[in-house]
Amino acid sequence: MKTVCCSILGFGAIGQGVAEVLLKKKEYLENIGLEVKVVAVVDSKGATINPEGVDLANCLARKRTDGTVALDNLSGVEVIQSVAHDLVIETTPTNIRTGGAGLQNMFAAFQTGKDVITSNKGPLTLKYRELMEAAKVAGSHFRFEATVGGSMPIINLSNEVLAGNKIKSVKGILNGTCNYILTRMLEERASYNDILAESMQLGIAETDPTYDVEGIDTACKLVILANAIFGLDATYSDVKVTGITKVTPEALEMAYERGHVIKLIGEVSRERIHVAPRLVPINHPLAVGGALNVASVETELAGEITVTGKGAGPTETASAILSDLIAIYGN
């Protein structure tokens, strides 16, 4: 049995999802020879630390009742530096302007020779090269499937499963909120603002939806794909971005009458990185509805491979983190 000591930094929806999945998959992991011991859980208010293994069920309960797991007044970086462990599961909120706590956590993890698995797009959008370099120097594993498309495998699909194929392009719907809004606008013949309000009520859109509806979130994911799959050194400023705020129910209806839906499509290849609303034929593989994500990987040998799935949600994102964990420590 191999024991992997890890920390969970960030205990919001995704961090809690990871804790729940680790509890649920304890037996499965043991069956494949892995004992995953969480030695620290950190949220914005502080940390719970136990070198013998934190009681995750207790952490989840305390988070629900007290709003925090904090027992020690330690930050993520302090935990990384003072608590011995192998892996940092970094699930703090995305900040694309500064990289936020996530960026500091990742650099600190690599400086202390730890592996990192993350769902946090911000640091990768801002400092991809530096982070990869730091991981390489430290000899650390660094995996981030959960940053793009939630549960949907895109990065690992392109780089590992489709190994040997030259990837020509990836295009798809990488933001569930935009897909939900456009799908509902067409279904209800309702305005953008009405459906946005509905999405906020349902918790599908954030209180400040700018990041999603202006295409910024999609653009960040494309930057990660550009770097991770195409080996570019792209940043956010390399992406041409148009959001969905101008799309009208009338435009959706006219397009539909001619056999098309309008979707916010992200597209990345060696030549260009682009986000914009596009006309997609109704029977096209990318014409998925609701809050689904979808991506088509155009390959040299295997043709076009399309995957679709839930792009967000704690359990779905934790599923991608779990697969990264098994990819590093399994076998």
Partner 1 sequence: MRVSMDIELKDVPGQMLLALQPLSECKANLITVVHHHQKRTPRKTVPVKLVLETRPESIETIKAKLEENGIRIVRVGEHRFRESINVVLIGHVVHTGIQDTIDEIDRTGFAEVVDLSLSMPGINMLSSALMKIDAVGKEDLHRALAILKEVSAKKDLLMVLPIDIQA
- Residues identified as active-site: 221
Between helix 56-66 and helix 13-24 the angle, nearest 10°, is 150
Q: How far apart are CA 93 and CA 15, in angstroms?
A: 10
206 is in an annotated binding site: yes
Number of Cβ within a 10 Å radius of residue 1: 8
Which of 104, 274, 314, 324 lies at the binding interface for partner 1 (CB under 8 A)?
274
- Binding flag, residue 168, partner 1 (CB under 8 A): no
Contact string 283-302 vs partner 1 (x = CB under 8 A)? -x-x----------------
273 is in an annotated binding site: no
The stretch near partner 1 (CB under 8 A) out of 43-51, 94-102, 175-183, 242-250 is 242-250
Contact string 170-209 vs partner 1 (x = CB under 8 A)? -x--------------------------------------
- Binding flag, residue 247, partner 1 (CB under 8 A): yes
Which of 160, 188, 233, 250 lies at the binding interface for partner 1 (CB under 8 A)?
250
The least distance separating partner 1 from the CB of residue 252, rounded to whole angstroms, comes to 9
Judged by CB, which is closer to partner 1: 15, or 266?
A: 266
- Binding flag, residue 246, partner 1 (CB under 8 A): yes
Number of Cβ within a 10 Å radius of residue 67: 11
The least distance separating partner 1 from the CB of residue 281, rounded to whole angstroms, comes to 8
13 is in an annotated binding site: yes
Judged by CB, which is closer to partner 1: 127, or 260?
A: 260
198 is in an annotated binding site: no
- Binding flag, residue 277, partner 1 (CB under 8 A): yes
Taking the CA atoms of 52, 54, 57 and 62 in sequence, report the sign of the dihedral they define.
Answer: positive
- Binding flag, residue 121, partner 1 (CB under 8 A): no
The stretch near partner 1 (CB under 8 A) out of 103-111, 117-125, 248-256, 318-326 is 248-256
Judged by CB, which is closer to partner 1: 70, or 305?
A: 305
10 is in an annotated binding site: yes
Judged by CB, which is closer to partner 1: 279, or 292?
A: 279
Q: Which two tokens stand for residue 100?
A: 């936020």
Q: How far apart are CA 150 and CA 163, in angstroms?
A: 21
The least distance separating partner 1 from the CB of residue 189, rounded to whole angstroms, comes to 11
Residues contacting partner 1: total by CB under 8 A: 28
- Binding flag, residue 251, partner 1 (CB under 8 A): yes
Cα dist from 5 to 9, 54, 89, 231, whole Å: 13, 11, 11, 31
Judged by CB, which is closer to partner 1: 57, or 282?
A: 282
Task: Give the residues lining the site for partner 1 (CB under 8 A).
Answer: 171, 240, 242, 246-248, 250-251, 253-255, 257-258, 260, 262-263, 265, 267, 272, 274, 276-281, 284, 286
Return binding residues for NADPH: 121
Return binding residues for NADP(+): 10-15
